[in-house]
Amino acid sequence: MQATESAEHRAEKHQEHGTDAGTEGKAAGHQGGTDDVDRFDFMVVSNRMPVDRCSPDEPGCEDGWRRSPGGLVTALAPMMTKTDGAWVGWHGAPDEHLEPFSHGGIDLIPVQLSTRDVELYYEGFSNATLWPLYHDVIAPPEFHRAWWDTYRKVNKRFADAVIRHAAEGATVWVQDYQLQLVPRMLREQRPDLKIGFFNHIPFPPPEIFAQLPWRRAIIDGLLGADLIGFQRSSDAGNFMRSARRFLGASVKQQQVHVKGADGQTTHIARAQAFPISIDVKQISELAQKPEVIERAKQIRRDLGNPKTILLGVDRLDYTKGIRHRLKAYEELLEDGKVTVEDASLIQVASPSRERVEQYRLLREEVEGTVGHINGTYDTMQNTAVRYLHHSYPIEEMVALYLAADVMLVTALRDGMNLVAKEYVTARTNNDGALVLSEFAGAADQLKQALLMNPHDIDGLKDTIMRAVNMEPAEAARRMRAMRKQILTNDVDLWSADFLRALQEKVVRDDS
């Protein structure tokens, strides 16, 4: 509601000043004052813009666009509508040029990518080099110089868009591993900017990061920022150890003293943990809507009203531990610890990076495993695993959270895992159980979950059974503690904490 009111307020303001939507969000002054480019005091930069294309007949579609789902958009959209802010990103269609435009009160600056850019920068370097490397080499990363060259060129394109549209002294917040070179590029061209960077995925220890042929350039790129945020303190520590090892940087506590070519300190880059969270208000309200509660009951009926529903919700990614989860559940069926008459596992696996070979192979393996389990244990009335290779709207996801007695988060490595936080938030009756991998960032906050090592299949099986058989009093105690943690640390607090820290003055100590 806040975003809608703000958008209306902005529209009224444009009418008063005789401007239109194409110029909204313009900063009061132009740097240099000689061109007609809109300039902004606050800019967010991410690989994708916060809107997706849609058909006019789809709900929420306005002028062919609708706001993207996801925590980052939820956190920053209200702020963007209330400030002279703009969002820089790719609009999702290769080989198409778009001029800057506005949607839902947010000024948008599209960056054009060619089909080859998408292949080399995104599918290649970002998701076949950096993603597996940063996730503890669960899958082998590939190192190709052509990918790296395109990654640099595309990062420069994003940086150029910011340089062109940032007002004097603007705050710029760069998001995630696809754009790690942008902070340094911005600092070299616009030292007046206040630059923040947030890494949404893990940062590997130096012993793993050392494999990257371009490790020095990546560290140097990130050190262009004033503040570099990570999900966990261990990630920030890994980064600072890499800065010291590969660049010889001077690291004092959480600060890196960045030196110029003359050996003098140019600025201090801080590295800190800012664990991201969710839109608590949205999930809580949906969980109490009568139609969502009724949908949850319908899900149970459709499954034959089993005694226990277990739920997994993931992108179809090899870091999520879906194969480990299925193996553990199959062995529980084989051992007779659970039966298809009493229990059912729902596995939502939303499509992900289907043009990348590793992901195609994973889908084949997961679907083959599900078919084997169901072929072995299904009856005419009951299904062992209900596998859903779809993405669902948030209302359906909350209904699934309400229907599930046990939530299984078995990530092999995860920056945070917001599904775990959404499940806990939806359990307004303080019931249900969360089985959570210790390798997910959420384990740092949700200490009352049933923590486990997903590589230990026997341990995972024992933890699942502990969740299935947990006494209601213990379940309520654990869920109440986890809900308290999340309800007081939502996504709005995350963004506010980061931006407040970014604006803090740092006392330079060159001694």
Catalytic amino acids? 200, 414
- Strands 65-67 and 101-103: what pairing? unpaired
Backbone angles phi, psi at 403, to 5 degrees: -75, -25
Backbone angles phi, psi at 111, to 5 degrees: -110, 130
Q: Which helix (H) or strand (E) holds 221?
A: helix 215-222
Within its chain, how far is the Cα of 378 from the centroid?
Answer: 36
Sign of CA dihedral 468, 472, 473, 477: positive
Q: What is the distance between the alpha carbons of residues 488 and 482, in angstroms, rounded to a whole number?
A: 10
Q: What is the distance between the alpha carbons of residues 49 and 73, in angstroms, rounded to a whole number?
A: 9
* Residue in the block written with tokens 């058989």: 469
- Fill in the DSSP letter of residue 172: E
User: How far, in Å, are 89, 382, 405, 440 from residue 321 at the CA level?
Assistant: 30, 25, 20, 11
Backbone angles phi, psi at 45, to 5 degrees: -125, 120
Q: What is the distance between the alpha carbons of residues 250 and 244, in angstroms, rounded to a whole number?
A: 6
Q: Which amino acid belongs to residue 377?
A: Y
Burial level of 82, CB count in 10 A (0-12/13-18/19+)?
middle
The answer for residues whose C-beta is within 8 angstroms of residue 447's C-beta and 6 or more apart is 481
Cα dihedral value 341, 347, 348, 352, nearest 10: -160
Q: Are 132 and 124 in contact (CB under 8 A)?
A: no
